[in-house]
Amino acid sequence: MGFEYPVRLRSLEQVVRRLHGSDRSLSVAEIRILADGADEILAAIVDQWPVDTSTSRDAMAIDIETGPGFYGFTISNDADYAEYIHEKGTPAEPPLWETLIPAVVASMTPAILAQLIGEIPRTEARLARYTNRRDQANALAAA
């Protein structure tokens, strides 16, 4: 069965709406910041994940979401027993994914958001140089 843990960056969505005037896709530079930060979060989780056979640790994955108006990522593990893993010597409730992942996300997300929020005005400045939507789409892809 495994698990999925979605993380939606609503504050980033609000900043983009405020500065851009509407929803938009993230630029390449913004996606890079988000992906790098999400990879760091995943690495921190993997470092703290208990290892017996390493099957569930190796099954950790992250998917980035960057569509217009929705930015975030989902941490998942498709090992059929991953949702039941707990720290050695502790009761099985709550499972580790319900405690470790939220703690790591909460501690690391503010720094990622700060980098992204710093990049948004730079992207908006590049977009302002273009007059039509086609040029803006090309600018997002190039940024």
Domain boundaries, the chain: 3-142
Q: What single DSSP character describes residue 27?
A: P
Scored b (16 or more CB within 10 A) or e, 42-56 reads bebbeeebeeeeeeb
Give the pLDDT score at 83.
83
Closest CA to 123 of 44, 47, 15: 15
> 60 has which bridge partners?
77
pLDDT along the chain (143 residues), means of 10: 93 94 93 97 93 83 92 94 77 83 97 96 86 65 70
Closest CA to 137 of 19, 12, 25: 25
Give the pLDDT score at 51.
78
Give the pLDDT score at 86.
77
Instruction: Say which amino acid occupies 81.
Output: Y
Give the pLDDT score at 135.
66
Give the global pTM.
0.85
Instruction: Say which amino acid occupies 109.
Output: T
Give the pLDDT score at 133.
63
> 3 has which bridge partners?
77
> 64 has which bridge partners?
73
